[in-house]
Amino acid sequence: MLEIRKDGDPVLRQVAKPVANIDENSLKLAAEMIKTMYEADGVGLAAPQVGESIRLVVYDVGDGPVTMFNPVVTDSEGLLECEERCLSVPGKYAFIARPETVEVRYLDRSGRHCKVKGDGLLGRCLQHELDHLDGKLYTDLAKEVFTDERAKNSTERAKNPVKEKSR
């Protein structure tokens, strides 16, 4: 399992470099990231979160693992406020407004051009992970960041009883 970098680590604030070659090394890193994501019970992980400042994201919103090289948001619509968490910001959460639906283009493990359009958990996950590639954390967008301790008694929590997984 790879070490997940925590808020305060400078690598999380760097703008990650594009992946020039999808080769043995980058595919091995992606496979290790997927394993780390599952072990940490997350739905997504970006390479900077494991100390590699490259544009690589993995996620699994329930349909199996997906690996994205050099992903870019190409379209978005709507606006929705949702709870977000992050494996790099343990024990915290916030309610973040973002576009509801996004379209993302990326290269898959074989270097093929792919496109995914997502709303709900997928749309949220894609935007959260792609932000990591630009050195951004969800806490940058938060009006207020809550801790899990406070969450136990908060009315917001009562309205959102489903525990969101971290990204």
Q: Which residues bind Ni ion (CB under 5 A)?
A: 86, 167
**Contact present, 6 and 89 (Cβ < 8 Å):** yes
**Is-catalytic flag, 83?**
no
Min separation Cβ 88 and Ni ion, Å: 5
When CB distances to Ni ion are compared, the closest residue is 86
Q: Which is nearer to Ni ion, 21 or 52 (CB)?
A: 52
Tell me the closest approach of the beta carbon of residue 113 to Ni ion, in angstroms: 25
User: How many residues would you count in the chain?
Assistant: 167
Nearer to Ni ion, 57 or 86 (CB): 86
Shortest Cβ distance from residue 55 to Ni ion (Å)? Answer: 15
Q: Choose between 98 and 167: whose C-beta lies nearer to Ni ion.
A: 167
Tell the smallest beta-carbon distance from residue 131 to Ni ion (Å). Answer: 8
Cβ-contact 144, 150 below 8 angstroms: no
Q: Are strands 56-59 and 66-77 parallel, antiparallel or unpaired?
A: antiparallel
Are 51 and 11 spatial neighbours (Cβ–Cβ below 8 Å)? yes
Instruction: Spot the catalytic one: 52, 83, 84, 129.
Output: 129
| Residue 103 zone, left/alpha/beta (φ > 0; ψ -120 to 50; rest) | beta
Nearer Cβ to Ni ion, position 15 or 158? 15
AA identity, residue 22: I
> Is residue 153 classed as helix, strand or coil in its secondary structure?
coil
Cβ neighbour number for residue 35 with a 10 Å cutoff: 15
Which residue type occupies 151?
Answer: A
Enzyme catalytic residues:
129
